[in-house]
Chains A and B, each alone.
Chain A
Amino acid sequence: MLKYLPDILSGVVVTIELAVLIVVAGIAAGLALALLRSLAIRPLNWLIIGVVDLFRSLPPLVVIVLIYFGLPSVNVSPSGFVSTWLSLAFVLMAFSEEIFWAGITSVARGQWEAARSTGLSFGQTLMNVVLPQAFRLTIPPLTNRTIAITKGTALGTVVAVTEILGQASSAMSNSYNPSPLMLGAAAYIVLFFPVVVAARWVETKFAWKR
């Protein structure tokens, strides 16, 4: 079992890389879409809602398979890593857009009007008045969703990404023994348990005192 520890560890590195890329790209894109949506340009909003609904209703694995096995027939061949990254980033984008948007709309209209009437521009109002209030509301759903989607990195196995589960499965077939899988499972626990605990802490830290 220990023989396969280095493999699992290299898998851990790939999982972390993948997770960080997904979280950064997904949340940035989600925030960007939510901000675009707050400009209230009708056709653009329909487009955003359409994209968001699409990625909320498709299982992430379907998106990964579609990109990895589908795109090569139009002569674009993304690697497994890139397919997984793109797919999960799109999914996280959709969910975080929805969450940020809900946060933005939850800030009372009067806040906008008050800020604008004191002479702040649209951008300043958004940045200094609305978003700070919106973020507090968005943190619990956002942390939950982010954890759920980063766990999806395990789906990369299906398209041959050498992340934890991929390494553990191939070690299992090499050794005819499921102990590497146990090692992989332990690696996930070690990796994600602190994240779950940290998320709980952040949630209580930023919660509105009621």
Chain B
Amino acid sequence: MIQNFFNPEIIVASWPIVLAGLRNTVLLSLLVVPLGLLGGLILALLASVKSPAVRWPLIAWVDFFRAFPPLVLLILLFVCVAIAFFLNTGAYYGEILRAGIDSVPAGQIEAGRSTGLSRLQAMTYVVLPQAVRNVLPDLLSNTLEVVKLTALGSVVAVPELLYQARQAQSLTYNPTPIVVAATIYFLLLWPVVRLLSRLENRALAGR
């Protein structure tokens, strides 16, 4: 058991390979999360425009990327891993932020407008801060999903954590590197999961 899954020699030997993967996983996440957030914010802001000409294509767009497995997108776009992730996560972030914006009462924007703020100012200074606070657990949970999503990059040979671990596994004929990678993922994301559980339970219990 230990020889197969926690082989110390293999852990030491595969460590640099796995570590290089970890660096790429972190880089990819740092690229995709801000991009997705920005895209989502734009989608959500567009959704708050009441004109049906803007609304319907938008709903179709969001539903399309929610219904679409990201892996299919990935292989379709192949070279543009980041774009595939961005399209997918942007739709999710957009949906979340839209829910957040909807949760802020209309009176807030009216009050903001009547004190002389422009539409954009009212949105940025009055609505968005409250909206983000209302949907913080969902935003965090989506971010967690995005980091986990980067593991899909291994399918199209992006040398991230899982891909590197599988390389090391085939070099050593031993699944230890995958166990190492799994452990790294767990250590990396466990704090986020704990935080989320607390936020979610508090949000539900508060109703």
Listed in ascending order, the chain A residues whose CB lies under 8 Å from chain B are: 53-54, 56-63, 65-66, 69-70, 73-74, 98, 101-103, 105-106, 137, 147-148, 151-155, 157-158, 165, 169, 178, 181, 184-185, 188-189, 192-193, 195-197
* Whole-angstrom distance between the Cβ of B147 and the nearest chain A Cβ: 8
Contact of A155 among B71, B76, B182 (CB under 8 A): B71
Q: How far is the CA of A105 from the CA of B204 in the complex (A)?
A: 8
Digit string of B67-104 for contact with A (CB within 8 Å is 1, else 0)?
Answer: 11111100110000000000000000000000000000
Contact of A188 among B69, B145, B178 (CB under 8 A): B69
Q: Is there a chain A Cβ closer than 8 Å to B207's Cβ?
A: yes
A147→B66 contact, CB < 8 A = yes
B169 to chain A: closest residue by CB: A69
Given contacts A57-B190, A58-B185, A61-B152, contact A69 B175 (CB under 8 A): yes
Interface size class of B (residues with CB under 8 A): 35 or more
* Whole-angstrom distance between the Cβ of B119 and the nearest chain A Cβ: 27
Given contacts A105-B204, A137-B204, contact A188 B72 (CB under 8 A): yes
B193→A62 contact, CB < 8 A = no
Given contacts A61-B151, A73-B4, A74-B4, contact A66 B68 (CB under 8 A): no
Interface residues of B in 38-54 (CB under 8 A from A): none
Q: How far is the CA of A106 from the CA of B154 in the complex (A)?
A: 39
Q: How far is the CA of A102 from the CA of B203 in the complex (A)?
A: 9
Given contacts A53-B190, A53-B193, contact A66 B182 (CB under 8 A): yes
* Whole-angstrom distance between the Cβ of B170 and the nearest chain A Cβ: 9
B5→A70 contact, CB < 8 A = yes
**Within 8 Å CB of B155, what residues of A?**
61, 157-158
Q: 7 closest A-B pairs (Cβ-Cβ)?
A: A59-B151, A57-B189, A59-B148, A70-B175, A154-B69, A192-B67, A151-B69
